[in-house]
Structure 1
Amino acid sequence: MNRHYYISDDLDELEQVEQELEASGISTEQIHVLSEKDADMDQHRLHSVSPFMKTDVVNSGRRGIYVGLVLAAAVLLVAYFSGWTQTVAGWVPFVFLALVLLGFSAWEGGFFGIQEPNGYFRRFQELLREGKHVFFVDVEPPQEPVLEQVIRHHPHLQVAGTGAAMPHWVMSGQQKLHRFRKMI
Structure 2
Amino acid sequence: MKRLFYLVDSIDSVESISDDLHQEGVTNWRFHIVSKDEAGLYTHRLHSASVLDRTDLARFVERGLIIGGLFALCFVLPLALWGGLDWPASAFVAMGVFMVLAGGWLGGFGGIGTENYRIRRFHKDIEAGKYLIMVDAPKANVDQMKALMAKNHPEAVLQGEGSSFNNPFAAGDGRVHVIH
Map of 2:109 onto structure 1 = 111
Map of 1:180 onto structure 2 = none
The structural deviation recorded for 1:143 is 6.0
Q: How high is the sequence identity, in percent, across the aligned residues?
A: 27
Map of 1:182 onto structure 2 = none
The structural deviation recorded for 1:93 is 3.9
TM-score for the superposition, normalised by structure 2: 0.81
SS at 2:53's partner residue? coil
Shift of the 110–5 alpha-carbon distance from structure 1 to 2, 3 Å rule, reads same
**Hey, what's the Cα distance between the residues in 1 that align with 2:155 and 2:55?**
28
Which residue identity does 1:153 align to in structure 2?
N
**Hey, what's the Cα distance between the residues in 1 that align with 2:90 and 2:21?**
56
Map of 1:40 onto structure 2 = 40
Q: Deviation digits for residues 91-142 of structure 1, max 9, x if unmatched?
A: 3443333222222111000111111011111111111111111012111223
Number of residue pairs the alignment of both structures matches: 165
Map of 2:127 onto structure 1 = 129
Contact persistence 2:137–2:145 (CA under 8 A):
no
The structural deviation recorded for 1:52 is 4.1
Correspondence 1:92-171 to 2 at 5 A: 92-140=90-138, 141-142=140-141, 144-166=143-165
Based on CA coordinates, which of the two structures has the bigger radius of gyration? 1
SS at 1:116's partner residue? coil
TM-score for the superposition, normalised by structure 1: 0.80
The structural deviation recorded for 1:166 is 4.5
Map of 2:28 onto structure 1 = 28
Map of 1:175 onto structure 2 = none
Shift of the 55–143 alpha-carbon distance from structure 1 to 2, 3 Å rule, reads closer
Q: Which moved further from structure 2: 31-40 or 55-64?
A: 31-40
Shift of the 91–21 alpha-carbon distance from structure 1 to 2, 3 Å rule, reads closer
Map of 1:178 onto structure 2 = none
Shift of the 100–158 alpha-carbon distance from structure 1 to 2, 3 Å rule, reads same
Map of 1:170 onto structure 2 = none
Shift of the 146–61 alpha-carbon distance from structure 1 to 2, 3 Å rule, reads closer
RMSD over equivalenced CA pairs, Å: 2.1
Which residue identity does 1:133 align to in structure 2?
Y
The structural deviation recorded for 1:65 is 0.5
SS at 1:53's partner residue? helix
Shift of the 16–93 alpha-carbon distance from structure 1 to 2, 3 Å rule, reads same
Larger helix fraction of residues: 1
Unaligned runs of 5+ in 1: 168-184
Which residue identity does 2:23 align to in structure 1?
A
